[in-house]
Amino acid sequence: MSHLTLVKVGGKIVEEPASLQKLLDDFAQIKGYKVLVHGGGRSATRIASQLGIESQMVNGRRITDAETLKVVTMVYGGLVNKNIVSGLQARDINAVGLTGADMNVILSDKRPVKDIDYGFVGDVKQVNGGRLAELIKSNIVPVMAPLTHDGQGHILNTNADTIASETAKALAAYFDVTLIYCFEKKGVLSDETDDNSVITEINRQQFSRLVEQGVIQGGMIPKLENAFHAIDAGVNQVIITSSDTIDGRHGTKIR
């Protein structure tokens, strides 16, 4: 199978002009088939605030009422997405911006109300890997916004990490997939106070031991759990790294 690299970048990187340009330069250098999944939360919060809409977050997730849905649809699907697409076109990468509604690539269910009503938030139900693979094989580079749809005419706000992992899993049937999660550190650290203490490779046994030892803790645990789920679902490797180093040779490799 051909190799495909799926890079997920958070809002901070794609929202600042200088870091966006650097990211696009680096992304353009990646050889072979590729996909970019982006966030945009900071811009959404800023523009919501300018429009007099207060951003309510619970456990790091945005409560998405009807007005907030309009903001994220504008910001993720419009502003952030089209800046990336035009920036990639300028680098001769034939990008296409997609939400889950476009070509019906990602269907989701509105999250059921339990303790918290997240509003117009979608949990991914199905990624149309075949459709995406067809596009990708015709040398188009999907740039995916963190928005999906319910098939009934509603756009739903959807976590970008989830879109990245579910898309990577769906594409694993067609490609040899490397999933790269960018975050603010150089990788999984063995010493949180030392940015250079990157663990270069980790398997499930090592992960369990490091959690037991308290070396890996907090938000890194679900991140790594997700990475192992992606591996179980056929993704070849997951890399957790800084957005400065998306060449596949840096960060922490999970296999």
Binding site for a copy of itself (CB under 8 A): 47, 50-52, 70, 73-79, 81-83, 85-87, 89-90, 94-99, 101-104, 134, 138, 140, 147, 149, 151-155
Q: Which is nearer to a copy of itself, 125 or 250 (CB)?
A: 125
**Measured from the CB of residue 35, what is the shortest distance to a copy of itself in angstroms?**
14
Q: Which is nearer to a copy of itself, 74 or 211 (CB)?
A: 74
Q: What are phi and psi of 151, to 5 degrees?
A: 80, 0
Structure tokens, 228: 């192992």
**Measured from the CB of residue 42, what is the shortest distance to a copy of itself in angstroms?**
14
Which residue type does 95 have?
A: A
What is residue 170's three-state secondary structure? helix
**Measured from the CB of residue 47, what is the shortest distance to a copy of itself in angstroms?**
8
Q: Which is nearer to a copy of itself, 50 or 193 (CB)?
A: 50
Q: Positive or negative, the Cα torsion across 32, 175, 73, 153?
A: positive
Phi-psi region of 120 (alpha: psi -120 to 50; beta: other; left: phi over 0): beta
Q: Which is nearer to a copy of itself, 59 or 138 (CB)?
A: 138
Structure tokens, 30: 């990646």
Q: Which is nearer to a copy of itself, 138 or 205 (CB)?
A: 138
> Measured between alpha carbons, how far is 35 from 136 in angstroms, rounded to an integer?
8
> Measured between alpha carbons, how far is 36 from 54 in angstroms, rounded to an integer?
29
**Measured from the CB of residue 170, what is the shortest distance to a copy of itself in angstroms?**
17
- β-strand pairing of 237-242 with 106-110: unpaired
Q: Which is nearer to a copy of itself, 101 or 172 (CB)?
A: 101
What is residue 25's three-state secondary structure? helix
**Measured from the CB of residue 204, what is the shortest distance to a copy of itself in angstroms?**
38
Query: How many residues would you count in the chain?
Result: 255
**Measured from the CB of residue 242, what is the shortest distance to a copy of itself in angstroms?**
24
Where do the DSSP E strands lie in 184-231? 201-202
